[in-house]
Amino acid sequence: MCGIVGYVGPQACADILVDGLRRLEYRGYDSAGLAVFDGKRTGVVRAVGKLQNLVTALKEKPLPGSLGIGHTRWATHGRPTEVNAHPHCSGEIALVHNGIIENHIELKRHLAEEGVKFASDTDTEIVAHLIHREAKTGDDLLGAVRRALGHVHGAYAVAVMDARQPDRIVVAKNASPLVIGFGEGEMFCASDIPAILPYTKRMLPLEEGEIGVLTESGLELYTLDGKRVDRQPKTITWSASQAEKGGFKHFMLKEINEQPRAIEDTIRGRVDLAAGDVIESELGIDAETAKSLKRVYFIACGTSHHATLYGRFLMEHIAKVPSQTELASEFIGRDPVVGEGDLVVAVSQSGETLDTLAALKVAKEKGARILAVANVIDSAIPRAAHGAFYTHAGPEIGVASTKCFTTQLAAMVLLAVFLGRRRGTLEKERAQEILQNFVEIPNQMRTVLALDDIIRDLARPLAQAKSALFLGRGVSYPIAVEGALKLKEISYIHAEGYAAGEMKHGPIALIDADMPVIAVMPDDKAYEKIASNVQEAKAREGHVLAVATRHNADIGGIAHNAIYVPKVDPVLSPFVTALPLQLLSYFVADFKGTDVDQPRNLAKTVTVE
Ligand code: F6R
């Protein structure tokens, strides 16, 4: 999600900034821009699309100068257009930002009341105006940025220039990454190490709530409340490709580990804990529509389809509306009975999947209201829908979806609470409880990720298997089918995901000592039932690995091995049970030496039928 690069020093910096942005391309972007101070004023060039478009624009309008900031934008607020691209300016201030400003609506209203005119639809431009307003009081840039950020809630990494103080860049960080590079008589900042690794190996990642001033002579670092910080840079020994993966062996492993952050970003600014409600202006569903809904249809493919199975569970459980999930390719192959009064939720990480788009069009023609859940702003599926809800997973490079999947699960929770509150099926107190537990989920996910060594050991024998059976019930059924898909797509081991209750209606015939059984059985009302299904598998010599809650002390007598996840609100357990299965598949594939990030025959965006 968004890339930042900044430079202050003796060299002409436009090429350094573009080069840095190129090394951040893996983060995904849809527009890019630079601001460079030329000795008199700050020039800005921005372009939509690939960096090459920015390079072409820079040929027409070169930006000489040795103080500059650059940005690649992954659109979240406002379409990917030139006016929405960064840097954003207000008076002498130029700013680049990575993150999401939660209270942007309120801040924008205040600024508009003060007469500020906005050039873009972005949350970022608001911060530029806030800094400009503070800088008018004559204080230095550091003080102005600090005071402006005092009004801002949300996630940000910013780099700010002021043409009246052209020897410095002010940087600050809260929840979005920013690293400082120390050169000889020159300083850099960037969203990630690879951007500036060719120029310096001495780096200092900023910590939460830090603000600093970069000048040719170094970094002055403070906390946002003004205390001086004294930390020294470290020498980075990673290669450029290791640095791109954040030191992880594969993008998939990096993305698995990014999930707590991705969920935080997807929730940020969308829940009102005091009201027990979900704030969402992009859904395009008013209270009347929510109340009169006849049915919710989910359409999706692959992993996104598995997220919708959870969506159906929540829709019935929380919003009490009849719901069904449809594989998009099957939906278009039939003559589905769908129309006015139905809400069709099309879920797609890429936002471009042809089958999902075709299904959406069929439903739209028949008069249904369409809501898209997508990770790529302004992609085909949200464009074709009446409303869009964006997950904020950031770009996913590994072909096997991980963080996009769990952020889709998060979207399902938010949508169900949103509808439940408007339909009067979810009491305020229960909504508050669900949402409070939900905002705590990223930390529970972090404790699961810390089990990676245990999961790696459990994966080793699984790498020898020819086939595996994943079982789940109720809220865990979608996780079982997704667990099986992950294993098969990256390790090429045949795997089936099954509703545990169905086992005795067929798959039990397959069970013997060579068939590992992975049972997703957190502590919920399905526990006793799935425990007996597992006993049935064990009685036929199936080797059982349970993903369970430590609380269930009897699990030792039921399964051969267990991965223990924290106890969470039962409706939210998929967030903690999905992770061990992703890690398990990852380690199995890594033991087998397959191409984890680009499994054979698979594509990240499927634009064919
Ligand atoms: C599997 C995976 C695929 C996609 C499917 C739909 O890990 O990623 O199954 O989920 O191709 O793609 P989107 O979500 O882009 O519509």
**Tokens 């099954």 identify what position?**
498
Q: What is the pLDDT of residue 520?
A: 98
In this structure, which residue's CA is closest to atom 9 in ligand 1? 302
- Say which DSSP state 295 is in: E
Q: How far is the CA of 475 from the centre of ligand 1 (A)?
A: 20
The rounded distance, in Å, linking the Cα atoms of 168 and 217 is 10
Q: Using one digit for the tens of pLDDT, what is the confidence trace for 355-370? A: 999 999 999 999 999 9
Q: Of 2, 13, 89, 404, which residue is the catalytic one?
A: 2
Q: What is the pLDDT of residue 209?
A: 95
Q: How far is the CA of 300 from the centre of ligand 1 (A)?
A: 8
Answer yes or no: is pLDDT of 5 > 70: yes
Q: Using one digit for the tens of pLDDT, what is the confidence trace for 250-280? A: 999 999 999 999 999 999 989 999 999 998 7
Q: What's the mean pLDDT in 340-364? A: 95
The rounded distance, in Å, linking the Cα atoms of 153 and 127 is 11
Q: Which CATH homologous superfamily contains domain 253-439?
A: Glucose-6-phosphate isomerase like protein; domain 1 (3.40.50.10490)
Mutate to test the pocket of ligand 1, among 251, 299, 303, 405 (most ligand atoms within 8 A of CB): 303
Helix/strand/coil (H/E/C) assignment for every residue in 215-265: ECCEEEEEECCCCEECCCCEECCCCHHHHHCCCCCCHHHHHHHCHHHHHHH
Query: Looking at the chain, how many residues does it have?
Result: 609
- Strands, E, within 12-163: which ranges? 31-37, 42-48, 67-73, 88-90, 93-101, 154-162
Contact 368, 344 (CB under 8 A): yes
| Span(s) in the chain for CATH 3.40.50.10490 | 253-439, 451-592
Q: What is the pLDDT of residue 137?
A: 67
Answer yes or no: is pLDDT of 501 > 70: yes
Answer yes or no: is pLDDT of 348 > 80: yes
Q: What is the pLDDT of residue 378?
A: 77
Q: Which residues, judged by CB distance below 6 Å to any ligand atom, belong to the binding site of ligand 1?
A: 301-304, 348-350, 353, 356, 400-401, 489, 606
Q: Is the model more confident about 333 or about 16?
A: 16
Contact 219, 187 (CB under 8 A): yes
Token couple for 194: 């690879």
The rounded distance, in Å, linking the Cα atoms of 159 and 157 is 7
The rounded distance, in Å, linking the Cα atoms of 433 and 344 is 28
The rounded distance, in Å, linking the Cα atoms of 155 and 237 is 29
Q: Using one digit for the tens of pLDDT, what is the confidence trace for 531-550? A: 999 999 988 999 999 999 97
Contact 135, 199 (CB under 8 A): no
In this structure, which residue's CA is closest to atom 10 in ligand 1? 303
| 609: confidence class by pLDDT, cuts 50, 70, 90 | low
Of 78-82, 468-472, 555-559, the one with minimum mean pLDDT is 555-559
Cα of first residue to Cα of last residue in the chain, in angstroms, is 29
Instruction: Identify the CATH class of 2-244.
Output: alpha beta
Q: Is the model more confident about 27 or about 457?
A: 457
Answer yes or no: is pLDDT of 138 > 80: no
CATH architecture of 451-592: 3-Layer(aba) Sandwich (3.40)
Mutate to test the pocket of ligand 1, among 306, 348, 486, 487 (most ligand atoms within 8 A of CB): 348
DSSP assignment of 345-399 equals EEEESSS--HHHHHHHHHHHHTT-EEEEEESSTT-HHHHHSSEEEE-------SS
Q: What is the pLDDT of residue 453?
A: 97
Q: What is the pLDDT of residue 269?
A: 87
Mutate to test the pocket of ligand 1, among 491, 606, 607 (most ligand atoms within 8 A of CB): 606
Q: Using one digit for the tens of pLDDT, what is the confidence trace for 568-607? A: 999 999 999 999 999 999 999 999 999 999 888 887 777 6
Amino acid occupying residue 486: K
Q: What is the pLDDT of residue 196?
A: 94
Q: What is the pLDDT of residue 377?
A: 79
Q: What's the mean pLDDT in 348-358? A: 93
Active site includes 2? yes
Q: How far is the CA of 301 from the centre of ligand 1 (A)?
A: 6
Peptide bond into 166 cis (omega under 30): no
Total-model pTM: 0.82
Q: What is the pLDDT of residue 65?
A: 97
Answer yes or no: is pLDDT of 426 > 70: yes
| 419: confidence class by pLDDT, cuts 50, 70, 90 | very high
Active site includes 428? no
Q: What is the pLDDT of residue 515?
A: 92
Q: What is the pLDDT of residue 38?
A: 96
Contact 74, 28 (CB under 8 A): yes
Radius of gyration of the chain (CA): 25
| 175: confidence class by pLDDT, cuts 50, 70, 90 | confident
In this structure, which residue's CA is closest to atom 16 in ligand 1? 348
| Span(s) in the chain for CATH 3.60.20.10 | 2-244
Contact 139, 133 (CB under 8 A): no
Q: What's the mean pLDDT in 233-242? A: 81
- CA distance to 82, 144, 211, 463, 588, per residue, from 592 (Å): 46, 54, 45, 6, 6
Q: What is the pLDDT of residue 561?
A: 94
Q: What's the mean pLDDT in 96-111? A: 93
Q: Of 361, 366, 592, 604, which residue is the catalytic one?
A: 604
